[in-house]
A = this chain, B = another copy of it.
């Protein structure tokens, strides 16, 4: 079964959309390294929280992607705009619609 990751990050006030842009800019390239789904969303209940729901062919492919130069560059760009408040869930994707 696929590996799933569900996480949130809090942007500093006024920076949420800049972080979203960074996340989206790399999304298309993830398919070639084993990502099947990368959904970027913003909270409907506060102005700063970003949610990412991901499905990968394996945890190994997910973890390896974090070492890619373009991913490290994106993380480096986004970090100063984030408060450091994260939540994360690692899950096993069982199935559904669209996966």
Listed in ascending order, the chain A residues whose CB lies under 8 Å from chain B are 4, 6, 8, 20, 23-24, 27-28, 30-31, 35-45, 51-53, 55, 89-99
In the complex, which residues of chain B have a beta carbon less than 8 angstroms from the beta carbon of A51? 4, 6, 89, 91
Are B92 and A41 in contact (CB-based, < 8 A)?
A: yes
A44 with B96: in contact, given A4-B39, A6-B6, A53-B53 (CB under 8 Å)?
A: no
| Chain B nearest Cβ from A38, distance in angstroms | 4
In the complex, which residues of chain B have a beta carbon less than 8 angstroms from the beta carbon of A39? 4, 37, 53, 55, 93, 96-99
Q: Which residue of B lies closest to A8 (CB)?
A: B89
- How many copies altogether? 2
Judged by DSSP, the binding face of A is strand
Q: 18 A-B Cβ contacts within 8 A?
A: A4-B39, A4-B41, A6-B41, A24-B96, A37-B99, A38-B96, A38-B98, A39-B53, A39-B55, A39-B93, A39-B98, A40-B93, A42-B91, A42-B92, A43-B90, A43-B91, A53-B53, A55-B98
